[in-house]
Amino acid sequence: MFQHIPPYAGDPILSLNEDFQKDPRPHKINLSIGIYFDDAGRIPVLESVRRAQDAVIAKGGPKPYLPIEGAANFRAAVAELLFGARHEVIATRRVATIQSVGSSAGLRVGADFLARHFPKSAVWVSDPSWENHRSMFEGAGLAVHAYPYYDAASGGLKFDAMLATLSGLPPRSVVLLHACCHNPTGVDLTRAQWERLIVLLRERELLPYLDLAYQGFAEGIEQDAYAVRALAAAGLSFLVANSFSKSMSVYGERCGALSVVCPDAAQAENVLGQLKFAVRRNYSSPPIHGGQIVATVLTDPALRALWERELSAMRERILAMRAQVHKVLTAKIAGRNFDYFLTQRGMFSYTGLSPTQVDRLREQYAVYLVRSGRMCVAGLNTHNVEATAVAMAAVLGA
Ligand code: KET
């Protein structure tokens, strides 16, 4: 029956992470998957999350199906996190938010919604982007193209080329944008660049789709919502998928959301209905437990304050690792500029290592990076940063 089924080629990120788990070498270093590890190399259980989980368990109660769109307290807390309390889009009820199974399901439900209601629209993603973006949108039946983004020569943005490409797109084309901590490059738009981009998006009647998977890892929770709020302030309609996997270290609880900002409340109600239709025919409704933990952290003032401190500490530890790997590499390799470690933001650094160099790092030194040259800086710690830099120096021929 299944003889014609080909083997799965594997996923560039998740398969690598599986290979890492199987690697018997005790000195192995995992800088592949976008997970934050603490200085002891462990995935932290945040104290705010642990207390919220205790509260959710203590409350007990039955576990009914959630509504298709998720729990009301979770959805309201997400909207406030994204836009700020009492924001106009919330007050006028023109944002439709669903709780999703990680932001991945939010992205995919949004893609299904677009495929059904914007069938002629193609999706434009940055070159490069998170590998799964293209796969998800193509999986929903949408055509996917790339706009210029990262400039390998300067380590910065090809901003003019990006604008030039986007200004040539037909109206209602979908433009996927990383709201902060661009994956994989760590290169974000400045606020001035967002302002210029927003003018273009509005003039060309494009449909922005924001991916906010790393809120709090660039500058802070509020600051990292800048793009979301700037698009809303400009009166644009757009989609935004956001994740709690990284910001609350709850990867396996699969907590995320999709919000669609609409021109008015009537349209938002219909959009919410169509999102529900997309969910119902897919996974029916989201799980209850993780979302209640997240909602508790977001809405309990003491836990919220604790979470913000814990998230700041994660962000600062990554910055310290960036500084340290920069220092060691600069000392080891003369005449090469490693400033990108200092200027790129979020969990990732785009090292410019070739796939062959990445393979050597893994095979000879047990240091795992994604083959694109992406390094998860959040996997570095005071115990492995020196060894990583030594290995990098070796494959760079120093
Ligand atoms: N968007 C981006 C940009 C992203 O990097 C990830 C995960 C997600 C969405 C999905 O996260 P979720 O847990 O579904 O809310 N990225 C890391 C893990 C993965 O590939 O699934 C990564 O890039 O390593």
Q: Which residue has the tokens 């979301």?
A: 228
pLDDT in tens, 92-120: 999 999 999 999 999 999 999 999 999 99
pTM, rounded to two decimals: 0.97
Q: ω into residue 184 within 30 of 0, thus cis?
A: yes
In the predicted structure, residue 211 carries a pLDDT above the cut 80: yes
Instruction: Say what the pLDDT of residue 398 is.
Output: 63
Mutation probe of ligand 1 site: the residue of 243, 247, 345, 376 with most atoms within 8 A of C-beta:
243
Concatenate the DSSP letters of all residues of 110-142 into one string. Answer: HHHHHHHH-TT--EEEEES--HHHHHHHHHTT-
- Return d(Cα 27, Cα 45) in angstroms, integer: 24
pLDDT in tens, 64-99: 999 999 999 999 999 999 999 989 999 999 999 999
Residue 320: both structure tokens together: 């310290």
Q: How many CB atoms lie within 10 A of CB 316?
A: 10
Q: Which helix (H) or strand (E) holds 21?
A: helix 14-22
Which atom of ligand 1 is closest in space to residue 107's alpha carbon? 9
* Alpha-carbon dihedral sign for residues 135, 136, 138, 142: negative
* Alpha-carbon dihedral sign for residues 150, 156, 157, 160: negative
Q: Is the CB of 245 under 6 A from ligand 1?
A: yes
Q: What is the rounded average pLDDT of the residues 271-290? A: 98
Concatenate the DSSP letters of all residues of 154-166 into one string. Answer: TTEE-HHHHHHHH
β-strand partners of 317? none
- 25 burial type by CB count under 10 A (0-12 exposed, 13-18 middle, 19+ buried): exposed
pLDDT in tens, 216-231: 999 999 999 999 999 9
Tell me the backbone φ, ψ of residue 42, rounded to 5 degrees: -105, 155
Mutation probe of ligand 1 site: the residue of 43, 103, 149, 212 with most atoms within 8 A of C-beta:
103
Concatenate the DSSP letters of all residues of 50-97 into one string. Answer: HHHHHHHHHH----PPPPTT--HHHHHHHHHHHH-TT-HHHHTT-EEE
Q: How far is the CA of 314 from the centre of ligand 1 (A)?
A: 17
pLDDT in tens, 144-184: 999 999 999 999 999 999 999 999 999 999 999 999 999 99
Respond yes or no: is residue 211 known to be catalytic.
Answer: yes
- The catalytically annotated residue of 211, 224, 276, 307 is 211
- Between the alpha carbon of residue 28 and those of residues 21, 184, 353, the distances in Å are 9, 22, 19
Instruction: Say what the pLDDT of residue 334 is.
Output: 83
In the predicted structure, residue 302 carries a pLDDT above the cut 80: yes
Query: Three-class SS of residue 173?
Result: coil
pLDDT in tens, 13-23: 999 999 999 99
- 114 burial type by CB count under 10 A (0-12 exposed, 13-18 middle, 19+ buried): buried
Mean pLDDT, the chain, integer: 96
Q: Which residue has the tokens 């969990």?
A: 347
Q: ω into residue 286 within 30 of 0, thus cis?
A: no
Q: Which residue has the tokens 């995320």?
A: 256
Q: Is the CB of 347 under 6 A from ligand 1?
A: no
Q: Angle at Cα 14 formed by Cα 9 and Cα 16, nearest 5°?
A: 80
Q: What is the rounded average pLDDT of the residues 120-130? A: 98
Range in 24-38, 301-315, 321-335 with the lowest mean pLDDT: 321-335
Q: What is the rounded average pLDDT of the residues 31-60? A: 97
Q: Is the CB of 261 under 6 A from ligand 1?
A: no
Q: What is the rounded average pLDDT of the residues 45-51? A: 98
Instruction: Say what the pLDDT of residue 335 is.
Output: 84
Q: Which helix (H) or strand (E) holds 191?
A: helix 191-203
